[in-house]
Amino acid sequence: MRILVVEDEPKLAEVLRTYLQAAGYEVRCADDGLAVMPLIVDWSPDLVLLDLMLPGRDGLDLCRDIRANTSIPVIMVTARTEEIDRLLGLELGADDYICKPYSPREVVARVKAVLRRSAADPAPARTHGAGGLDIDEGAWSARLDGVPLDLTPVEFRLLALLASQPGRIFSRDQVLDGLYDDRRVVTDRAVDSHVKNLRRKLAAVRPDGELIRSVYGVGYRLDLAGSADASP
């Protein structure tokens, strides 16, 4: 599998290249934000390790562009650990965060975890179809009212979880268990961000209703009726 490492510190980039190649990945590196999108188009990586602070274009701007045009998993790497940066990165579609300083072995482990989660699960493939929503977990595809949904891996898992039992209220802890299998520390606000992004994409297809309902102090449920006058 192909990993694109976007890092403007040559020593760090070379360390990541060495460890990822030792893990069996094909690796290319970019040290300028302006080179990233052309590389994605020409080389089609399976995952992007994206530094936040870059010459040319910053990582958040690039993450927005990558997510708008592809479903390639993105792991953001940054020394800026403020909650607003972490939240903004998740809102833009990042699949994971790694904060500097980091262990190269941790980076490899995170890459494996994200790729494992984003890969289609061959057995058994589950499908959900009700209320105009069709999800095929084997094909990693989702449609609403016949319109394909361009979802990040995290958003797809979130929708599949809620659609597995429409009307059931899933707590934030249950959502976290369904989204992440590596027991990382993820805040409630991060979950809220993923829900917000998913709601926006669903609303783009069905603007007259809210399919994902918040139940205050409890969690979230999928309301496939999605009517504007449904209970909050």
Let me know if domain 127-222 sits in CATH 1.10.10.10. Answer: yes
Distance in angstroms (rounded) separating the CA atoms of residues 161 and 179 = 8
C-alpha–C-alpha distance, residues 105 and 123, integer Å: 29
The model's confidence at residue 126, banded by pLDDT at 50, 70 and 90, is: low
- CB contact at 8 A, 108 and 91: no
CA dihedral defined by 66, 71, 73, 78, rounded to 10 degrees? 20
pLDDT of residue 134 exceeding 60? yes
Nearest to 54 by CA among 96, 103, 12: 12
Q: For residue range 30-64, what is the model confidence (pLDDT) as tens digits? A: 999 999 999 999 999 999 999 988 999 988 889 88
Percent above pLDDT 70 for the chain = 83
* Class of the CATH-defined domain 2-118: alpha beta
At 199-229, the pLDDT tens digits run 999 999 999 878 999 888 888 999 887 443 3
Q: How confident is the model at residue 85 (pLDDT cuts 50, 70, 90)?
A: low
Any idea where the domains of the chain sit in the sequence?
2-118, 127-222
At residue 198 the predicted structure's pLDDT band, cuts being 50, 70 and 90, is very high
